[in-house]
Structure 1
Amino acid sequence: MAEQDWLSERFAEHQSRLRGVAYRMLGSPAEAEDAVQEAWLRVSRADTGQVENPAGWLTTVVARVCLNMLEARRNRREEPAGTLPPEPAAPHESIRPNGQADPEGEALLVDSVGVALMVVLDTLTPAERLAFVLHDVFAVSFGEIGAIMDRSPAAARQLASRARRRVQGAAGASDAARSPKREIVAAFLAASRSGDFAALFELLDPDAVVGEIRGAHAVADFFSGRAQAARLALVDGVPAAVWSHRGRPKAVLTFTISDGKITRIATETDQDRLRDLDIVFLKRYEG
């Protein structure tokens, strides 16, 4: 009974932090609450005799619950649970007491972007999202993160680094999204989906090239009625089109544009290369 009382007190003590972890991981207050409740069910049945760091142990349990929920959501091909409302901005100084730059503080500054951040987080794999949220927002070590995911600390660090690059680009994503190239790519996708040959032809340079296909007429004919599942995205910060299957990018179309006309469309399907790309999906497809 004394052990259960101790556990209940520790859980209540850290519940606010646990709910914060779950909220950042899942993007939904309701799902965050479910995750915390599931974590309590797990810890209430656990042997706490070897627990030396209650806060770290409880964070680990909640993180594992959230990871399972994200994987289940991904497997069901659900849409993201929602968009977090903007939160108060972090202080403008991101400096540690020793005067050195604080990478976690910089991430928190980007985190204040709010809606833009969630757009980026929703493009991450569950493992990337967990690594970034736990390390950059809640200062969990890579060793602990790796243990949660059954990966090495180095692998956890790489996951967080990949996610951080996307998050740090979120602040500039809206400017890129409004660029002339974005408008042209969006218009191309809309015309392709609707089968509007004339609109496609108008967007293409007379000598446009797509692989072995050459000339505006042939390229427009090839894409007319296609690209039904392609989504407008920023790929390494540049407007492009991405086709995904079950949440995983399978093909990226990049566009070369000169004088307002598409001169070349390249397709990348190599999975190793795709994994190295920073992809941020844009919500609106149309121009």
Structure 2
Amino acid sequence: MAEGDRLPPGINPRVPSVARMYDYYLGGRDNFPADREAAEKMIGIGRRMGNDTRQIALANRTFLRHAVRTIAEAGVRQFVDIGAGLPTQDNVHQVARRHAPGSRVVYVDNDPVVLSHARALLARDPDVIAVEGDVRDPDAIFDDPAVTGRIDLAEPYAVLLVAVLHFVPDDGEAAGIVARVKERLPPGGHLVLSHLYTGDATADVTDAGRSVYRGTTAGGLAGRDRDQITGFFGGLALLGPGVVPVADWAPDASPDGPYDYVRAGILAGVGRA
């Protein structure tokens, strides 16, 4: 993507976008020089911890696919992906429909570039839509007529909060968001969540990462410890291996094998109401 390309209103290509940075980590092309520069800084910071940022991002994406497949095979046919990011290979609706034909999916994001790409991709599919929304206001998302027109909130559905809550720096606000999402889940509903994990990251490394993301559209970043991330699943039945590093959900995505709990990275889990 070049800065001269026609862009949706309100986009400044010189301000890094977390969605476009993630696209760069995944090897995508929907990013600008500013996104690539910021992403490379994060890759360097990860390297200081002995981590491969790109491999962790790929493992996180593989976790998402595995989670969607698990939930679809359990009989759930409705998915709300909040903070969906730019379309890539094996999007949620593609994975869900491969294992559960007829699944309905709502993608939610507040990035105009994400919404533009998603709507272009989904223009001919009435059961898969992209809507504007902010993770900080889950009720506004669930009460949006476009959402309720596709998702029957009285029937089981899955909410995906994949690599998005660490862009809500305030711990109390992040906990409140998840609590409200869980309150809205009907019996049999699922929460899919992954989150930046601090591990034994030193203060200088943590501060360097926060500094990079303060200059992005997110405006901040907050890694959290294992107890905090596990606490998001309170009241839910954990599936699979529990709350573990994403590479433990998707070992094939990490050539170096599973990450241990000491090293920083991304923890992930799936809970059922």
- TM-score tier after normalising by the smaller chain length: under 0.3
Structure number with higher helix proportion: 1
Larger radius of gyration: 1
TM-score by length of 1: 0.23
Higher relative contact order (CA 8 A, sep 6+): 2
TM-score by length of 2: 0.24
